[in-house]
Amino acid sequence: MRRRVFIMAALVAMIPALGSAAVSYNLVLAGASAGGLWSLIGVGVDNAMKTAYPGSTVTYQTSGGGYANVSLLADEKVDIAILHDAEARKAVEGAAPFSKPSEHLRALAVLYDFSALQPILVKAFAEEHGITSFEDLKAKRPPLRLVLNKPGNITHDLAVNVLQAYGIAPEDIESWGGRVMIAGSRESAELLRNGQADMAMNAPFVGHSSILEVASARELILLAPSASVIGSVGEKMGIGSVTIPASAYDWLDKDTPTLALAAMIAADASMDDVTAKAITAALIEHIDSLRDVHKAMLGLDRPMLLRQRSIPFHPGSIAAFKEAGLM
């Protein structure tokens, strides 16, 4: 690919030292916005590659996020990219927003698999209308003011799929006398804090500051998807699940299973096996470079690097995992 550069050390003595020549990589990684977690992960990937292959550089390129990154890989504008597992599944299936299947995607390593769907509902509203479950929402049709993330954000798709699994469409909520609002996670937290919304469905990490901020102003409950919905939506979207421990929030009274998004580093299938293996091997060996970028990443361990089912792993990555005893 056009931005990958192999630099051989000790050029003067290259022939006699060929078997031990140092190799470095110059890679472009597509993430999302500047300053978010994915940009920090980009720093971690850069550090891992620099440690494994001195002289290497991984440049973080901002983008519109996972959906946009699929096209950037296909057009060879970047070497590697961060995608959610559900975004990758949509790409390979050719589901909206994609116009045709993308058969070129290959996974190199999973970065996290614990971006948990956390449907939070204001307790006063829940008690007023007798709501303790999604089934209650469907049956009692309360005038719910629900906040969903922006269309084009995979969290929006996840929330809509869960609602649909219970036979609830956004327009149904409006027919109940409620309202569906669109906002990012920070804005949705403000709407809940200020009494302008009753419920939000986002998928941040457990213990995220946006939820803690709401809980400091409003009493909350967590609406847990049922085991059958976790199974059906997980299968449809190609995602997994996680259990939110009761200790995560002082207002949560029991361990609560829910759906969870994973994020991975992906490449085009045309990436050569040597490069794919080198990147994956660096992340395996220097996993602390990823863990150290933010406290939210401390849950990452080596087995998690393989934990996705949306797209095939690159053959070079498979070789790296096998050498590390992980496959």
Per-residue DSSP letters for 66-87? Answer: HHHHHHHHHTTS-SEEEEEHHH
Fold of domain 118-224:
D-Maltodextrin-Binding Protein; domain 2 (3.40.190)
Tokens 């939506």 sit on residue:
233
| Section 39-49 average pLDDT | 96
How far CA 18 is from CA of 6, 32, 55, 239, 273, in Å, comes to: 14, 39, 18, 44, 19
pTM: 0.87
Helix axes 37-52, 273-285, angle to 10 degrees: 100
Q: In the chain, pLDDT over 90 holds for what percent of residues?
A: 83
Cα separation, 153 vs 111, in Å, equals 18
Tell me: pLDDT of 186 over 50: yes
The tens digit of pLDDT for each residue in 45-74 reads 999 999 999 999 999 999 988 999 999 999
The tens digit of pLDDT for each residue in 193-217 reads 999 999 999 999 998 888 999 999 9
Least confident of 4-13, 33-42, 153-162, 300-309: 4-13
Nearest to 41 by CA among 323, 291, 327, 314: 291
Structure tokens at 216: 């400091």
CATH architecture of 6-113+262-323: 3-Layer(aba) Sandwich (3.40)
Q: Do 6-113+262-323 and 118-224 show the same overall fold?
A: yes
Least confident of 9-13, 201-205, 262-266, 298-302: 9-13
Per-residue model confidence (pLDDT) at position 22: 74
